[in-house]
């Protein structure tokens, strides 16, 4: 147990005023069931009933360095005592924002050397597109505005970010129409339709080429992609897919945005996955979550020198930025978090510990109810099926993912259900016994539900 004074008196009563995010609000109103998380330490969280749970979702794919890290907490506190707030508007700057921008430029691949800060992954992606629209205006090509995204993508929930997200995530909600075109989802197991993986890859590339031909490269500003799709179900694309997609984009002067909100800062064993894991040099990388390990809300849109050169050329203003762009406490958290990751070699260690986690989960593939175990390192998904042979899914109302997640939580592991899929994106600091315990709990939980 944790030696902390955590009062939960009145939380659930007061909670009737809190609008939960991404939740079935009606169901919450009916039964009111909540998990109240009151404290956290290392790889674990504590609920209001006094249970210690393995944080199998790392907060929300973000607490990469683990909870309650003294170095990050102290850096934030010291920063607040020195300079609580100043903006990065006009010609104002301050040491933590400047230092974090320099650090990100050092770590990001190739010519990605210019950093614009924001507060969330959604607004980092939103900003990436706005900046590219302005970039093409500056180049005298104002028609080059459309965005290519993909079915299965998750890029956030601002109006623009949700338009780039897979359409299924805005049923019943309005979306900005006409700007974004969704390409095929690169999920071979579900979408491969009897093709070999190489044939499936060709089909995906043809889809991109056909879409460019239909819309016209002169009308397309950018393509946005997560190296591994996260909230769309942890989809790892076929080998060579990102490199080939990037080459087609380059040939058509379509800027490549890598959404590394989840994949950066160690989750796949590197500070950034685009180049190190997938061999791609994007024009823009967006990050959030793991950049501060979730200790402060901070995100960044990291631009190539070339894009920055155009938007900073004479003759226009950079009309973009939020009050909290580069917040001192967020920037201090980012610097301390990255410092800790470097001194403890967290990304390097994930190359071993993440593989152990992945192997433990992959072994669950022998269970009847498990259709596919997919992902990489500390970014994994398990898809449950009614019939393994023909991949027949469970009906949504059977709530299979939710039932397995509840069974796992009862046994001490927080996992995230997503329809028939269970997502695991834990902290990157579990010891081997805890890593192995995750697979053990999942095996028992799936057996309970089967």
Dist CA 188 CA 207 (whole Å): 15
- Which C-beta is closer to ligand PLP: that of 292 or that of 445? 292
Length reported for the chain: 450
- Which C-beta is closer to ligand PLP: that of 126 or that of 449? 126
Calculate the CA dihedral of residues 362, 364, 369, 371 and round it to 10 degrees: 10
Residue 287 C-beta: closest distance to ligand PLP, Å: 9
Residue 286 C-beta: closest distance to ligand PLP, Å: 7
154 binds ligand PLP (CB under 6 A): yes
Dist CA 401 CA 405 (whole Å): 6
Adjacent-strand bridge partners of 47: 37
Dist CA 133 CA 127 (whole Å): 10
117 binds ligand PLP (CB under 6 A): no
- Which C-beta is closer to ligand PLP: that of 230 or that of 371? 230
Exposure class string for 111-125: b at 16+ Cβ within 10 A, else e: ebbbbbbbbbbbbbb
Stretch near ligand PLP under the rule CB under 6 A, chosen from 12-20, 115-123, 192-200, 420-428: 115-123
Exposure class string for 273-295: b at 16+ Cβ within 10 A, else e: bbbebbebbbbbbbbbbbbbbbb
155 binds ligand PLP (CB under 6 A): yes
Dist CA 84 CA 333 (whole Å): 13
Using alpha carbons only, give the angle 444, 2, 4 rounded to the nearest 5 degrees. Answer: 140
Sign of CA dihedral 435, 228, 297, 173: negative
- Which C-beta is closer to ligand PLP: that of 144 or that of 182? 182
- Which C-beta is closer to ligand PLP: that of 120 or that of 149? 120
262 binds ligand PLP (CB under 6 A): yes
- The 3-state DSSP class for residue 255 equals strand
Adjacent-strand bridge partners of 304: 112
DSSP assigned state of 184: -
373 binds ligand PLP (CB under 6 A): no
Among left, alpha and beta (phi > 0; psi -120 to 50; other), residue 358 is: alpha
Interface residue with ligand PLP among 288, 341, 407, 435 (CB under 6 A) is 288
Interface with ligand PLP in residues 221-250 (CB under 6 A): 226, 230-231
Residue 124 C-beta: closest distance to ligand PLP, Å: 7
Residue 301 C-beta: closest distance to ligand PLP, Å: 12
- Which C-beta is closer to ligand PLP: that of 412 or that of 419? 419
DSSP assigned state of 42: B
Residue 295 C-beta: closest distance to ligand PLP, Å: 14
156 binds ligand PLP (CB under 6 A): yes
265 binds ligand PLP (CB under 6 A): no
Interface residue with ligand PLP among 79, 120, 409, 425 (CB under 6 A) is 120
122 binds ligand PLP (CB under 6 A): yes
Interface residue with ligand PLP among 88, 187, 249, 259 (CB under 6 A) is 259
How many of the chain's residues bind ligand PLP (CB under 6 A)? 14
121 binds ligand PLP (CB under 6 A): yes
Residue 157 C-beta: closest distance to ligand PLP, Å: 7
- Which C-beta is closer to ligand PLP: that of 284 or that of 288? 288
* Burial of 58 per CB tally in 10 Å (0-12, 13-18, 19+): buried
- Determine contact, residues 152/229, Cβ cutoff 8 Å: yes
Stretch near ligand PLP under the rule CB under 6 A, chosen from 6-14, 179-187, 259-267, 321-329: 259-267
* Burial of 366 per CB tally in 10 Å (0-12, 13-18, 19+): exposed
- Which C-beta is closer to ligand PLP: that of 227 or that of 401? 227
- Which C-beta is closer to ligand PLP: that of 156 or that of 371? 156
The helix (H) or strand (E) run that includes residue 380 is strand 379-387
Residue 231 C-beta: closest distance to ligand PLP, Å: 5
- Which C-beta is closer to ligand PLP: that of 137 or that of 157? 157
The helix (H) or strand (E) run that includes residue 364 is none
- Determine contact, residues 197/237, Cβ cutoff 8 Å: no
Q: Which segments within 227-367 are labelled E, that is strand?
A: 255-259, 284-287, 299-304
- Which C-beta is closer to ligand PLP: that of 230 or that of 360? 230
126 binds ligand PLP (CB under 6 A): no
Residue 389 C-beta: closest distance to ligand PLP, Å: 32
| Interacting residues toward ligand PLP by CB under 6 A | 120-122, 125, 154-156, 226, 230-231, 259, 261-262, 288
């Amino acid at each position: 147990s944790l030696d902390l004074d955590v009062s939960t008196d009145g939380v659930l009563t007061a909670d009737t005023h809190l609008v939960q995010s991404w939740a079935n609000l009606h169901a919450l109103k009916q039964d009111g069931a909540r998990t109240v998380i009151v404290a956290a330490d290392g790889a674990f969280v504590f609920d209001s009933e006094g249970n210690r749970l393995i944080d199998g979702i790392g907060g929300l794919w973000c607490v990469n360095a683990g909870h309650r890290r003294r170095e990050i907490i102290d850096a934030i506190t010291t920063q607040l005592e020195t300079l609580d707030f100043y903006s990065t508007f006009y010609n104002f700057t301050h040491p933590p924002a400047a230092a974090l921008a320099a650090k990100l430029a050092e770590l990001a691949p190739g010519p990605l050397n210019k950093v614009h800060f924001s507060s969330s992954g959604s607004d980092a992606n939103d900003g990436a597109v706005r900046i590219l629209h302005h970039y093409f205006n500056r180049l005298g090509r104002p028609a080059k505005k459309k965005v290519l995204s993909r079915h299965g993508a998750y890029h956030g929930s601002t109006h623009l970010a949700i338009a780039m997200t897979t359409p299924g995530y805005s049923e019943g909600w309005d979306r900005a129409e006409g700007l974004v075109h969704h390409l095929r989802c690169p999920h071979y197991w579900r979408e491969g339709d009897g093709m070999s993986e190489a044939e499936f890859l060709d089909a995906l590339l043809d889809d991109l080429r056909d879409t460019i031909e239909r819309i016209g490269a002169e009308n397309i500003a950018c393509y946005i992609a997560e190296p591994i799709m996260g909230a769309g179900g942890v989809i790892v694309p076929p080998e060579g897919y990102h490199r080939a997609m990037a080459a087609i984009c380059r040939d058509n002067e379509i800027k490549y945005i890598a959404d590394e909100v989840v994949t950066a800062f160690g989750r796949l064993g590197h500070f950034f996955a685009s180049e190190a894991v997938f061999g791609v040099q994007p024009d823009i990388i967006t990050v959030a979550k793991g950049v501060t390990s979730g200790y402060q809300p901070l995100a960044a849109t990291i631009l190539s020198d070339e894009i920055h050169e155009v938007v900073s050329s004479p003759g226009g203003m950079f009309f973009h930025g939020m009050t909290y762009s580069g917040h001192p406490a967020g920037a201090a958290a980012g610097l301390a978090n990255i410092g800790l990751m470097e001194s403890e070699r967290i990304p390097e260690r994930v190359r071993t510990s993440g593989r152990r986690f992945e192997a433990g989960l992959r072994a669950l593939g022998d269970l009847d109810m498990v259709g596919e175990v997919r992902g990489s390192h500390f970014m994994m998904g398990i898809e449950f099926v009614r019939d393994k042979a023909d991949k027949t899914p469970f009906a949504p109302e059977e709530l299979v993912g939710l039932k397995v997640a509840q069974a796992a939580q009862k046994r001490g592991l927080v996992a995230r259900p997503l329809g028939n899929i269970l997502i695991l994106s834990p902290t990157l600091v579990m010891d081997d016994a805890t890593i192995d315990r995750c697979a053990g709990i999942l095996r028992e939980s799936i057996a309970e539900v089967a």
